Amino acid sequence: MSESQKKIIDSLLKEKKKTKRDLAKLLNIKENSVNRTLKNSNISISKLGIIANFLEVDIKDLLPKKDIVQEPGEEYQHTNPLDASNQIAINTLSEAINRSSKTIEKLVKIIAENFPEKSLDE
């Protein structure tokens, strides 16, 4: 992660009213290691996913906008060739999330059709 990505996360933490202490607990690191972790250019895609989930944003929202090249209907592409593996992982993760969401929607519909007297809120 770069300094600009750290700034993005710092901004999102403030916007979402979450703390670096909370993030440290989630990442299982010491609070004083959070800044170093966020500046690390080799941060794993799994940590990015954890951070994105914690901040309730898409992983793509954690990347600097100038590095993102995406046309409507196209897959995400990163302009830095060193991040090709991250690009593949992000695309794969996004596809898996989309499939999971569609499966959940189908299951909810089936349950509602077969058990109309039950509420999913119960």
Mean pLDDT of the chain: 75
- 4 falls in which pLDDT band (50, 70, 90)? confident
Write the DSSP assignment of the chain as a string of letters.
--HHHHHHHHHHHHHTT--HHHHHHHHTS-GGGHHHHHH-TT--HHHHHHHHHHHTS-GGGGS-GGGEE--TTSPPEES-GGGHHHHHHHHHHHHHHHHHHHHHHHHHHHHHHH-TT--TT-
Quick one: pLDDT at residue 18? 92
pLDDT at position 73, please? Answer: 55
> Per-residue pLDDT averaged across 21-46, rounded?
83
What's the pLDDT score for residue 15? 92
Q: Concatenated DSSP letters for 74-101?
A: SPPEES-GGGHHHHHHHHHHHHHHHHHH
* Of 117 and 38, the one with more pLDDT: 38
Domains and CATH numbers, the chain: 3-114 (1.10.260.40)
Query: pTM for the full model?
Result: 0.51
| 17 has pLDDT over 90 | yes
Q: Mean pLDDT: which of 14-18, 44-48, 82-86, 92-96 is highest?
A: 14-18
The pLDDT of residue 46 is 80
In tens, the pLDDT along 103-116 reads 888 888 888 888 87
